[in-house]
């Protein structure tokens, strides 16, 4: 649990206090466990590992470009504190989400931080059991919504997109243009 208070670290009874780049936190002391999982958990763990391996295969100049982009893209945590992620952290976040959406792992950082705002779809009921949903627009923003440009689009618009479009087998929005 994140908290705002005097800096502290260490353990007392069953509580461990520590801090990282995201701020201070308290947690229950326990033995670590890393279940392999199956289905969705296994897919995300594999995507996360592949993204981290892809980072180490990037040229140093490309890694520096990701670090420079990350420094211009601060993240606000649940306590309202601004956090600047490292190039590795933002690369892994974006690459994992791209794989999650069925896209290739990007090598170059995004060109901007724009967040695609989908327009309201057209919903037509032609019979009691027939509902047609047509996405608005020309589909130009589909790649952004699927995570190709940035993780911000997925975080900020996932609920809107999921409500506007039927999901596929993995629970992801299916976007057509």
Tens-place pLDDT, residues 127-177: 777 777 777 765 544 544 443 334 444 444 444 444 454 444 344 444 443
Give mean pLDDT, residues 22-50.
80
pLDDT of residue 132: 77
Distance in angstroms (rounded) separating the CA atoms of residues 69 and 91? 10
Q: Would you say the pTM of this structure is higher than 0.75?
A: no
**Residue 116's pLDDT band (boundaries 50, 70, 90)?**
low
**Residue 174 has which token pair?**
């299916």
| pLDDT > 90: percent of the chain | 20
- Residue 87: which pLDDT band, with cuts at 50, 70 and 90? very high
173 beta partners: 167
- Tell whether the model's pLDDT for residue 8 goes beyond 60: yes
Residue 117 has pLDDT above 80, yes or no: no
Confidence of residue 62 (pLDDT cuts 50, 70, 90): very high
Give the closest residue to 58 by CA, choosing from 21, 18, 131, 108: 108
50 pLDDT more than 90: yes
Is the pLDDT at 84 greater than 70? The verdict is yes
Q: Which residue has the higher pLDDT, 111 or 117?
A: 111
């Amino acid at each position: 649990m994140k908290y705002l208070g005097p800096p502290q670290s260490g353990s007392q009874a069953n509580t461990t206090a520590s801090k990282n780049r995201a701020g201070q936190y308290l947690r229950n002391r326990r033995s670590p466990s890393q279940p392999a999982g199956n289905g969705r958990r296994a897919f995300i763990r594999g995507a996360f590992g592949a993204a981290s391996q892809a980072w180490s295969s990037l040229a140093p100049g490309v890694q520096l470009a990701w670090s420079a982009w990350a420094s211009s893209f601060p993240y606000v945590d649940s306590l309202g504190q601004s956090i600047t992620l490292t190039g590795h952290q933002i690369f892994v976040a974006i690459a994992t989400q791209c794989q999650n959406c069925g896209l290739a792992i990007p090598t170059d950082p995004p060109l901007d931080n724009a967040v695609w705002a989908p327009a309201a779809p057209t919903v037509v009921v032609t019979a009691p059991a027939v509902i047609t949903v047509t996405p608005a627009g020309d589909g130009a923003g589909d790649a952004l919504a699927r995570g190709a440009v940035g993780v911000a689009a997925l975080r900020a618009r996932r609920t809107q997109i999921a409500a506007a479009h039927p999901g596929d087998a993995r629970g992801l929005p299916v976007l057509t243009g």
